[in-house]
């Protein structure tokens, strides 16, 4: 397992108190595109995972598309506190069953960090309920990310802004729901802007979308980007136990009502019958 | 067509200025359950449609589950400004293709009013990105809806609260995203509370969830409920043209950048190649 | 009155159905600075008012700082549906009593459009509860406003973006609360971004902050800016009657409780005594 | 100082890692009303402080109205991470200067927990920008607080709901801005509902309003209430350094623009001149 998930490398630092993060990488362009392979010889997921490991509170492993169940079997997800998602080339190859599984874990309380081209991943579109469309241009232009919520935990240690000299442009309108909070907005050299750091809650799970990360540039080697990723994992982590009850729609029988009531009027459901779904 | 969609009854009042509303009803319990048939002999959709017709700015027709394409073919949806949705017994029978079609129209700007048990409809869960679960009890108890956003257009003409003497209880936690605004919160006789009027925007479309409407009680005959429905249709209506571009993710070529830039760094995409989805 | 408020010019088009807008202008730089006087010889308030008048649904007059009670006596505000506010040079000269009066009207349901340097007006700071600080640079640089909420009524008729060739830069972090919705984000030539169109509700009143409008540039002569202003007035307008009850904190006597209860435990207040404020 | 602030009792547990909480109590009814004195013989602030001390991560002291500067001099506030505020009888006695001081610290990043009748405190109204009105009834009725955001850190360890057998009723409409998140909604025996747990951010500061706490009932002795208070202090705490720059509105000179620009057009401000406030 060691060579495929990187789990062994981090097992020794795992204990009850650490945040168990899994970095999910599509791992296609790293193996098929020379430019990408040159920047991320071990895979983007490995670079991201190594960045997270710099924080002693985070224990980290990775998973990739080509693994059985994309490296996200039920029991592993059940042991995951925060999932970081990077995909681009083949969103459609992710099995619907795994997408539903991840969504359920988010609703139960697992944190989710969606990166860059992950805006079009099935899991992000499922959780947003919108097309998640945007404008784009692959020209290696300058991006400057401005902090719009100073002292937000995700922006800790970042100044007023930071720059990436070469990035893909993403431009508004970004078709996502209004976020809980906007943490970063990007300025692009070619004239566009983009809401680059957005927080959401879906069920009991915290979600952060973070824009940078085109695979032909060394974005995940950038110190500020790495700091934001560590901050985001810690922000998204919910130390409480999973809340699977969020999937239930329980009937509260009349005789168990918290205030005494008498049943009146017509009924559809016989005693103890479940609701329609 | 008249007997199946009710369209003829309203055609004469349609003109460019009216809001074209379609009331979608599942139309099952009205035909299979005596209690429901007694309260809504023409179907719940007809009662709701008649309530909307009282406003001269709204022209209304209906659609039901058993019709071809559930009464929502592409061209009809294209002519619909606001869709009102009531379903309960058989959410699963709604074809995924139609659900996607409705979602696209919402993203393009069509308003959507989701009623009561529609919280578990495919379309609502798709647009929310959450399980939309809740507690429930069918005991005909008293519900009192308090206005939490006075002067909100949806609460126009409603006082501080209104009551429904017999309703099904829905209780928190209602697993939906934090709304744009909370317009109503319900008090239930048996001891629960529920966020009963919630607004959202998804893409260019306005969405309102409104809780009351269990089919074994005469809720849609209630004057306050009818007023809220008319208000909600007018609030959700967007007089601007549809915005189908929300489904596009256009490339902005370097030479068409609004500010002059020079292409730099590695590239994945050849000239004019579409992005991955 | 005609020469001071412009009311006469618009009286003839006023009727029950029009939105009664008042444009409040500080009217200092127009009289003391040659550049500004050259661009706005009748005052910025007159230019803005004339732009609003192009919409037959809006009837408009103006008020200025130097008038008695700054042109905003109680009875005039009571007849105002939407107030548009531009100030810059002397925010401190606005009497606290008038600020409180305007705030009360907003809470009761009057719409408020705050323009540009009005971010530091007493009324805006009062309603936001934050410092409303930002970065700035007066260099006549290019600003490009991107629409982040397509089909929002305030962006009706605006395309994906519009440009102002010469504007003052305002840069993040803009110290305001997270808005209901972000409608515009600006790109600046010098490298900054700014959330330029933000919606809020305070009490029953709708508020829109709109960034452009430095007095040394002809911003309020721009067709797109004028369109946004008209859209914003119509969006902010609440056709319902004023809701003065929002200022009350009524006691609900035990014997008038909606559900029968029996008084228990200790009490601070004697029968009928008002609460502490 | 020990007898007046309780600081000595907690000094020994203070270290760099603890959250420095200050509980501010009005301390009037505890000394003038027999019922209140009987329930809180040491003052409500002491009971609340003792509840917070049960968490080893929190170090706590208190301050009261009658102390010089209400116990909140500049240097003490500068050393405060989270301020808990309870007031009722004499909100007007709090000096405006101290209110402004507290607001500045919130904007800089200090957390603020506002309790019960503190809804009418100057500091809460200042930060909300609304009247903060509500309905009320002092009848010792049953309150049931439902969790609307499961797994929210503030609701950690609380089940689906908890009850207070005797509380004052607060009813909607609660005239506050739409919150970031609604964590609790209360059901009252007499028929009302209330949004009892609301989160906000103002500048860099996290704010939580928590409804329960009428002084004639033993609410702050309740285990669930105490747990929420500890959770709220930890949630509101921002471990980052204070962000005083939030009060600045810096000019960015043309020659220091991040992207090279050339100054154009008219100017109001001479080189280096500050902006108007």
Three-state secondary structure along A25-60?
ECCCHHHHCHHHHHHCCCCHHHHHHHHHHCCCCEEE
- Find the range with the poorest average confidence among A199-213, C28-42, D262-276: D262-276
Residue D151 to residue A245, Cβ atoms within 8 A: no
Nearest to C133 among D171, D247, D264 (CB): D247
Give one DSSP letter per residue of B224-260, joined into a string.
Answer: HHHHHHHHHHHHH---SPP-GGGG---B--GGG-SS-
For residue D20, what pLDDT is reported? 98
Q: Evaluate whether A136 touches B251 at the Cβ level (below 8 Å).
A: yes
For residue B9, what pLDDT is reported? 39
Residue B181 to residue C180, Cβ atoms within 8 A: yes
For residue C66, what pLDDT is reported? 97
Give B228-264 pLDDT, tens digit per residue. Answer: 999 999 999 999 999 999 999 999 999 999 999 999 9
CA dist A234 and B188 (Å) reads 39
Q: Which of B172, B179, B188, B200 to mutate to test the interface with D (most CBs of D within 10 A)?
A: B172
Q: Do the domain assignments include residue A268?
A: no
Contact pairs from chain C to chain D, CB under 8 Å: 202
Place of tokens 């500004």: C36
β-strands D111-115, D82-86: how paired?
parallel
Mean pLDDT of C111-134: 98
CA dist C98 and A110 (Å) reads 50
Q: Do the domain assignments include residue C82?
A: yes
- Asked if the model's pLDDT at residue D191 lies above 50, the reply is yes
What CATH number is given to the structural domain containing A153?
3.40.50.880
For residue C16, what pLDDT is reported? 53
For residue A265, what pLDDT is reported? 87
CA dist A56 and B166 (Å) reads 57
* Shortest distance, CA C87 to any CA of chain D (angstroms): 10
Q: What angle do CA A94, A96, A98 make, to 5 degrees?
A: 75
SS3 percent helix, strand, coil of chain D, rounded to 5, is 35, 25, 40
Residue C258 to residue B181, Cβ atoms within 8 A: no
pLDDT band at B16 (very low <50, low <70, confident <90, very high): low
Give D91-150 pLDDT, tens digit per residue. Answer: 999 999 999 999 999 999 999 999 999 999 999 999 999 999 999 999 999 999 999 998
Give D51-107 pLDDT, tens digit per residue. Answer: 999 999 999 999 999 999 999 999 999 999 999 999 999 999 999 999 999 999 999
Mean pLDDT of C131-142: 97
Q: Do the domain assignments include residue D136?
A: yes
Give B25-83 pLDDT, tens digit per residue. Answer: 999 999 999 999 999 999 999 999 999 999 999 999 999 999 999 999 999 999 999 99
- Asked if the model's pLDDT at residue C15 lies above 70, the reply is no
Residue A185 to residue C174, Cβ atoms within 8 A: no
Residue C17 contacts by C-beta under 8 Å, 6 or more apart in sequence?
Answer: C57
Residue B204 to residue C245, Cβ atoms within 8 A: no
- Asked if the model's pLDDT at residue A49 lies above 50, the reply is yes
CA dist A74 and A102 (Å) reads 9
* Burial status of residue D70 (CB atoms within 10 A of its CB: 0-12, 13-18, 19 or more): buried
- Asked if the model's pLDDT at residue D3 lies above 70, the reply is no
pLDDT band at A15 (very low <50, low <70, confident <90, very high): very low
Question: Given phi > 0 = left and psi -120 to 50 = alpha, else beta, which region is C38?
Answer: alpha
Where in the sequence is the domain holding B209, given as residue range(s)? Answer: 12-247
Residue of C nearest to D30 (CA): C268
Residue of A nearest to D157 (CA): A240
CA dist B26 and D229 (Å) reads 46
What percentage of chain C has pLDDT greater than the value 70? 94
pLDDT band at A115 (very low <50, low <70, confident <90, very high): very high
Structural domain count of chain C: 1
When computed from its CA atoms, the radius of gyration of chain B, rounded to whole angstroms, is 21
For residue D16, what pLDDT is reported? 53
CA dist B127 and B236 (Å) reads 15
For residue B14, what pLDDT is reported? 37
- Asked if the model's pLDDT at residue D270 lies above 90, the reply is no
Work out the mean pLDDT of chain C and round it to a whole number. 93
Mean pLDDT of A244-270: 92
Residue of D nearest to A162 (CA): D258
Give D197-222 pLDDT, tens digit per residue. Answer: 999 999 999 999 999 999 999 999 99
* Shortest distance, CA C228 to any CA of chain A (angstroms): 18
Q: Do the domain assignments include residue D261?
A: no
- Asked if the model's pLDDT at residue C9 lies above 60, the reply is no
Mean pLDDT of C131-155: 97
Query: Virtual CA dihedral for A84, A90, A95, A101, nearest 10 degrees?
Result: 20
* Shortest distance, CA A117 to any CA of chain C (angstroms): 19
- Asked if the model's pLDDT at residue B13 lies above 50, the reply is no
Residue C253 to residue D131, Cβ atoms within 8 A: no
- Asked if the model's pLDDT at residue A173 lies above 80, the reply is yes
- Asked if the model's pLDDT at residue D37 lies above 50, the reply is yes
For residue C3, what pLDDT is reported? 40
CA dist D10 and D59 (Å) reads 6
Residue D266 to residue C36, Cβ atoms within 8 A: yes
For residue B8, what pLDDT is reported? 38
Q: What are phi and psi of B114, to 5 degrees?
A: -105, 130
User: Across-strand partners of D22?
Assistant: D61, D83
Mean pLDDT of C222-249: 96
Residue B263 to residue A140, Cβ atoms within 8 A: yes
The set of chains that have 3 or more CB pairs under 8 A with B is A, C, D
- Asked if the model's pLDDT at residue D164 lies above 70, the reply is yes
- Chain D CB contacts of B174 below 8 Å: 148
Give B206-236 pLDDT, tens digit per residue. Answer: 999 999 999 999 999 999 999 999 999 999 9
Place of tokens 């004028």: C226
pTM recorded for the entire structure? 0.94
Place of tokens 């350094």: D241
Structure tokens at B41: 């002999």
Give C44-62 pLDDT, tens digit per residue. Answer: 999 999 999 999 999 999 9
Contact pairs from chain A to chain B, CB under 8 Å: 204
For residue A274, what pLDDT is reported? 86
* Shortest distance, CA A275 to any CA of chain D (angstroms): 20
Type and span of the H or E element at C127: helix C122-128
């Amino acid at each position: 397992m060691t060579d495929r998930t990187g789990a062994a490398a981090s097992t020794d630092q795992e204990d009850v108190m650490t945040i168990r993060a899994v970095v999910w990488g599509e791992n296609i362009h790293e193996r098929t595109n020379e430019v990408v392979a040159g920047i991320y010889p071990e895979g983007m997921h490995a670079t991201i995972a190594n960045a997270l490991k710099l924080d002693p509170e985070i224990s980290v492993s990775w998973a990739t598309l080509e693994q059985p169940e994309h490296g996200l079997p039920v029991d592993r997800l059940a042991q995951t506190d925060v999932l970081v998602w990077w995909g681009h080339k083949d969103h459609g190859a992710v099995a619907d069953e795994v997408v539903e599984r991840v969504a359920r874990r988010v609703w139960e309380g697992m944190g989710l960090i969606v990166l860059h081209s992950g805006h079009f991943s099935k899991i992000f579109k499922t959780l947003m309920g919108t097309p998640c469309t945007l404008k784009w241009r692959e020209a290696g232009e300058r991006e400057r990310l401005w902090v719009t919520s100073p002292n937000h935990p995700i922006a800790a240690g970042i100044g007023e802004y930071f720059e990436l000299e070469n990035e893909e442009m993403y431009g508004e309108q970004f078709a996502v729901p209004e976020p809980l909070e906007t943490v970063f907005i990007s300025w692009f050299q070619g004239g566009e802007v983009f809401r680059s750091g957005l927080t959401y809650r879906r069920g009991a799970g915290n979600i952060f979308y973070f824009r940078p990360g085109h695979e032909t540039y060394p974005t995940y080697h950038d110190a500020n980007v790495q700091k934001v990723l560590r901050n985001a994992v810690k922000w998204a982590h919910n130390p409480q136990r999973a809340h699977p009850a969020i999937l239930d729609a329980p009937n509260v029988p009349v005789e168990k009502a918290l205030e005494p009531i008498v049943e009146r009027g017509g009924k559809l459901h016989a005693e103890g019958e479940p609701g329609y779904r």
